[in-house]
Amino acid sequence: MPTLMLVPTGIGCDIGGYAGDALPSARLLASASGCLITHPNVMNGASLYWSDSRVLYVEGYGLDRFAVGDWALRPVRRQRIGLLLDAGIEPELAQRQIQVAEGCRASLGLEIGPVISTDAPLEVTLECGASGASWGRLGCPHALLRAGERLKQAGATAIAVVARFPEDPESEELAAYRQGSGVDGLAGAEAVISHLLVQHLQIPCAHAPALDPLPLDPQLDPRAAGEELGYTFLACVLVGLSRAPDLVSAPWQPGDLHAAQLGAVVVPEGALGGEALLACVEHNLPVVCVANPSVLSVTADAIGLSQGVLHASSYSEAAGLVLALREGLSPASLGRPLPALQRLD
């Protein structure tokens, strides 16, 4: 039963707001559903990753277009991943990214190349919205798109992007994030970068930031620890993209996965305002709302959603509900007391 797992990026979710810390929940949901569609924010753990044939790795813009019904997902055996580097990355740090790609070729057998640098620095800036969610801007978005076009013309079927991000290692926000109580200040800008490329090129894309290593923090929260293990965050992106499904428009082929085949969507209970989720509601899909606090409070009550909503106190409980739906069981039959039958006058 294909199931959509959404954990919006840059909103500080307790689970999924850090370095791939939603991976265990995604693996559990993949086991319960047999096919899980989710986005890089859930699967990316910097130097840590987990490859699972039951999980489809779909960038957020592509995921929205899939949920709306504009695009279908076409499983592939492998992607040829072009590596796109921001011209603003210092030579030594850029070489670290290339070494990660070489290591993934040699040790994991991934098909990577060619490599290109943008013709101008991307000039990423970071912002924070009134809600506390992170976002950002690109000073030179056309440089990104030109480089992406060249990679696609050269035969790349997916693109891994590494952009130089601004740093403030002494900031209170970064300290809070590393200690497990803040929002990922980079995530919103990362989404801007990948959304632009996927919208423009309609091929799988994902982003890894280029940053200098941080000083050792003995109080580091385990959820942020994946980002402390190496010089780059690129390895998980390359692994995720290596089998990311193609994003295809009609006419479709047998075997393509369509939104009409979805059986459920799993989402944090306070993050129900996204395009993909609202499209699923329009299609009358069961919505499993999981207690997973963030800086947002867009709940079912806030958007007037009452029908088809199932509440779960954890992703373990959500997996049980997904499994019940997959087996054709009424979730109401699993609780007590049983609700009364509806009688029509």
State pLDDT tens for residues 239-249: 999 999 999 99
Report the pLDDT value the prediction gives residue 180, as an integer from 0 to 100: 80
pLDDT higher than 90, residue 229: no
pLDDT higher than 80, residue 343: yes
Report the pLDDT value the prediction gives residue 218, as an integer from 0 to 100: 85
Q: Which of 32, 57, 53, 63 is CA-nearest to residue 43? A: 57
In terms of DSSP bridges, do strands 134-138 and 124-128 run parallel, antiparallel, or are they unpaired? antiparallel
Give, to the nearest 10 degrees, the angle between helix 141-153 and helix 187-201: 50
How do residues 91-100 score in pLDDT, each as one tens digit?
999 999 999 9
Give, to the nearest 10 degrees, the angle between helix 234-242 and helix 91-108: 40
Q: How confident is the model at residue 231 (pLDDT cuts 50, 70, 90)?
A: confident
Helix or strand or coil: residue 150?
A: helix
**What residues contact residue 242 under an 8 Å CB cut-off, 6+ apart?**
51, 78, 79, 81, 108, 110, 111, 158
Give, to the nearest 10 degrees, the angle between helix 23-33 and helix 315-326: 20
Report the pLDDT value the prediction gives residue 197, as an integer from 0 to 100: 98
pLDDT higher than 90, residue 238: yes
Over range 210-239, report the average pLDDT.
89
How do residues 321-338 score in pLDDT, each as one tens digit?
999 999 999 999 999 999
Report the pLDDT value the prediction gives residue 151, as an integer from 0 to 100: 98
How do residues 111-142 score in pLDDT, each as one tens digit?
999 999 999 999 999 998 888 899 999 999 99
Please tell me the distance from the alpha carbon of residue 336 to that of residue 45, in angstroms, as a whole number.
39
Report the pLDDT value the prediction gives residue 230, as an integer from 0 to 100: 83
Report the pLDDT value the prediction gives residue 279, as an integer from 0 to 100: 97
Report the pLDDT value the prediction gives residue 100, as an integer from 0 to 100: 96
pLDDT higher than 80, residue 71: yes
How do residues 4-43 score in pLDDT, each as one tens digit?
999 999 999 999 999 899 999 999 999 999 999 999 999 9
pLDDT higher than 80, residue 169: no
pLDDT higher than 80, residue 166: yes
Judged by average pLDDT, the poorest of 108-117, 154-163, 185-194, 260-269 is 185-194
Report the pLDDT value the prediction gives residue 312, as an integer from 0 to 100: 98
Please tell me the distance from the alpha carbon of residue 84 to that of residue 48, in angstroms, as a whole number.
21
**Is residue 325 a contact partner of residue 162, using CB atoms and an 8 Å limit?**
no
Please tell me the distance from the alpha carbon of residue 127 to that of residue 209, in angstroms, as a whole number.
15
Over range 163-184, report the average pLDDT.
82
Report the pLDDT value the prediction gives residue 153, as an integer from 0 to 100: 98
Give the residue carrying structure tokens 């740090």: 93
What DSSP assignment string belongs to 43-79? H-BTTB----TTEEE--HHHHHHHHHTS-EEE--S--
Helix or strand or coil: residue 237?
A: helix
**Is residue 179 a contact partner of residue 173, using CB atoms and an 8 Å limit?**
no
Say if residue 331 is exposed, middle or buried (CB neighbours under 10 Å; 0-12, 13-18, 19+).
Answer: middle
Percent share of the chain, pLDDT over 90: 83
**What residues contact residue 332 under an 8 Å CB cut-off, 6+ apart?**
338, 339
Query: What CA–CA distances, in Å, run from 32 to 35, 84, 169, 197, 327?
Result: 8, 36, 40, 32, 10
pLDDT higher than 90, residue 59: yes
Over range 216-238, report the average pLDDT.
89
Q: H-type helices in the chain, by residue range?
A: 23-33, 40-43, 60-68, 91-108, 141-153, 172-178, 187-201, 234-242, 275-282, 315-326
pLDDT higher than 90, residue 214: no
| Six token digits for residue 231 | 């010089």
Over range 194-201, report the average pLDDT.
98
Please tell me the distance from the alpha carbon of residue 186 to that of residue 132, in angstroms, as a whole number.
13
pTM: 0.94
Helix or strand or coil: residue 85?
A: strand
Calculate the average pLDDT of the chain: 94
| Six token digits for residue 241 | 């993209």
Helix or strand or coil: residue 322?
A: helix
